[in-house]
Amino acid sequence: MYFCSDMADRQEISLNDYVSRINSVIIYVEKNIDKLLNLDAIACHANFSPFHFHRIFSALEGETPAGFILRLRTEKVARLLQENITTSITEIAYSCGFSNYTSFNRAFKKHFGMTAQEFRKFDKTVFAKDKQFYNAKGEVLKRTESTIEYEGTEISTFESDTIIQNADIRIKRMPEYQVAYIRYVGDFYQIGETYDKLLNWAAQNEQLNVPEAKLFTVYHDDPSVTKMDKHRQSVCITIPNNFKVGGCVSKMIIAEGKYLVGDFELLDIEFEKAWNTMYFTLIERGHKFRNANIYEMYETVNNTPFSQPYKVHLCIPIE
């Protein structure tokens, strides 16, 4: 009986170690997507043999390392095509790690069911209503297994009930934050369980009692180009320098930089409206996206991070 319990503990420790190493690789890939990323290099970063790394990554992520990298590159190109409309398709493709335009064209069409030129004709999806996503023209995004489409609607996304009036939105230089995080992949409307795990970990490690502790949701993907079941988010809490983490919890840096920041007090049902307000403001003021992750930052009040209304800052990186 004790032997079985010991074996279960060892298996859990081993799995957590695998998750931690794979998380490190994913951050490495995201930061170096423009560089050569072969199996040997990323396996070495994870301190695995290439063969062992390929098996572990594929089992945990549901796709091969090469498939994951190709998907991230293709989806980043798609996002930049709609954000940087004056930059050539070739330049964007090469900046995302494609070394051959023919192979890029083939990968893009296979992933989205259309060419990059065709995709670029659609405006970026920036609004949400009732869990559907729209661009500024009011066209609704439709995603199937092999294609992506936009359909016209009769209801404008600029209706007054989808925007918060007189919101406090300013340009700020946000500092760097060192955070502990748990990665979540899937529908961001179902992220609550991951926050419960992080808060339990933070309480056990006395990080919820730290003055001015902050929590974050960092979004690594764009729902207009990444399928929801592959959409990556990091649920984070600030930690001191040199703080050690372990198990299913990893560390990363949220980079400093220039952001469009909205300060809100929100109920659960108001987040769509708040993000709509942010993007409406971004478009209205003519700001350009900067190549970084958007995030939500929560203030803890009396060591209680989640009591409604939430005190939250929505941050969009801008040039």
Two tokens, residue 236: 């984070």
% pLDDT > 90, the chain: 59
User: Is 50 exceeded by the pLDDT of residue 2?
Assistant: no
Average pLDDT over residues 259-279: 93
Mean per-residue pLDDT for 233-242? 93
Comparing 51-55, 124-128, 187-191, 286-290, the range with the smallest average pLDDT is: 187-191
Q: What is the mean pLDDT of residues 131-150?
A: 82
Nearest to 68 by CA among 23, 100, 102: 23
Average pLDDT, the chain: 87
Looking up tokens 């925007």, which residue turns up? 163
Amino acid identity at 182 = I
Q: Look at residue 137 in the predicted model and tell me its pLDDT.
A: 82
Residue 105 vs residues 24, 85, 101, 117, 119: alpha-carbon distances, Å: 30, 18, 6, 10, 12
Tell me if residue 251 falls in helix, strand or coil: strand
The length of the chain in residues reads: 319
Q: What is the CATH T-level fold of the domain 168-317, as seen in this structure?
A: Multidrug-efflux Transporter 1 Regulator Bmrr; Chain A (3.20.80)
Residue 176 per-residue DSSP state = P
Is the pLDDT assigned to residue 8 strictly greater than 50? no
pLDDT higher than threshold 90 for residue 151? no
Structural contact between residues 168 and 208, judged by C-beta atoms closer than 8 angstroms: no
Highest mean pLDDT among 132-141, 147-156, 250-259: 250-259
Amino acid code (one letter) for 284: E
Beta pairing partners, 60: none
pLDDT of 240 reads: 92
pLDDT tier at 11, thresholds 50, 70, 90 = very low
Alpha helices in the chain (DSSP H): 2-31, 39-45, 50-61, 65-83, 89-95, 101-112, 116-119, 192-204, 271-285
pLDDT for the residue 22: 92
pLDDT tens by residue, 273-306: 999 999 999 999 999 999 899 999 998 766 566 6
The pLDDT of residue 12: 45
Could you give the CA distance from residue 95 to residue 99 in angstroms, rounded to a whole number? Answer: 9
Least confident of 13-22, 240-249, 301-310: 301-310
What does the pLDDT read at residue 210? 81
Spatial strand order of the sheet with 148-151 comes to 125-129, 132-135, 140-143, 148-151
Helices (H) and strands (E) counted in the chain, each on its own, are: 9, 12
